């Protein structure tokens, strides 16, 4: 895994910088995963469903959101997930519209943070020369990459990701129902693709294409 190799090399070269790099990775992961899930719960609340709020999920406390396997995947593979926020669609004012909005809320939040972080990174790079800024720029670069990765990952039409819920409501009007055994088989196969790096390679191509299109464009106009 490239992250592990990179981290080992950093520790061999400069343990202090390696610890800073590890800390920046942890903060980036926590932020993008937590905000993603809180966005789901917040939009659900605005649509009439208080389930996430009642279960204490509208909080920035990592203990309420992080999934051990998903967090490790995010750290080492740059794709991952948190514990899904519980929702009760029967509370929605407009079932289909609100279900779609809630499904896309986490992705929208990550894309917003990607854009906001990109703007901050570019402005710092262009207008600040202090030495410590290099660390902040490195953090922002990691931050925007992880947010973009999480957004693209969740667009995949695979249960239980947001892309599947959106596809089911927008295209199939909620009529696409999979048996529990089928869901389990899909999820196991999906995890295998994640851990073998097959999916990571495909997503990295898409993520790099978006990053290389958006960030240079913002660099030119800011």
Please give the structure tokens belonging to residue 29.
């992961």
Let me know: does 35 contact 109? Beta carbons within 8 Å. yes
From residue 22, how far is each of 25, 63, 84, 114, 137 by CA, in Å? 5, 19, 25, 20, 15
Query: In sequence order, which residues have a C-beta less than 8 Å from that of residue 28 and are 6 or more positions away?
Result: 139, 142, 143, 146
From residue 123, how far is each of 89, 146, 151, 210, 221 by CA, in Å? 41, 20, 23, 20, 11
Residue (of 126, 99, 113) closest to 34 by Cα position: 113
Place of tokens 């299109």: 213
The residue annotated as part of the active site, out of 21, 37, 102, 207, is 37
Let me know: does 116 contact 90? Beta carbons within 8 Å. no
Q: Give catalytic status of residue 73 as yes or no.
A: no
Catalytic positions are 37
């Amino acid at each position: 895994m490239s992250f592990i190799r990179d981290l080992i090399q950093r520790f061999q070269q400069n343990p202090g910088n390696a610890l800073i790099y590890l800390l920046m990775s942890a903060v980036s992961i926590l932020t993008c995963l937590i905000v993603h899930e809180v966005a789901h719960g917040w939009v659900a609340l605005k649509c009439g469903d208080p389930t996430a709020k009642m279960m204490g999920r509208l909080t920035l406390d990592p203990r309420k959101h992080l999934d051990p396997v998903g967090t490790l995947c995010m750290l080492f593979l740059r794709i991952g997930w948190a514990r899904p926020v519980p929702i009760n669609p029967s509370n929605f004012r407009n079932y289909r519209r609100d279900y779609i909005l809630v499904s896309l809320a986490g992705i929208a939040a990550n894309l917003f943070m990607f854009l906001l972080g990109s703007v901050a990174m570019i402005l710092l790079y262009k207008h600040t020369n202090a030495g410590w800024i290099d660390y902040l720029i490195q953090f922002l670069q990691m931050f925007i990459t992880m947010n973009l990765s999480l957004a693209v990952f969740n667009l995949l039409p695979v249960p239980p990701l947001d892309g599947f819920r959106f596809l089911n409501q927008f295209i199939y009007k909620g009529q696409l129902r999979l048996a529990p055994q089928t869901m389990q088989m899909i999820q196991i196969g999906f995890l295998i693709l994640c851990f073998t790096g097959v999916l990571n390679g495909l997503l990295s191509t898409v993520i790099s294409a978006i990053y290389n299109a958006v960030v240079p464009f913002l660099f030119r106009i800011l």
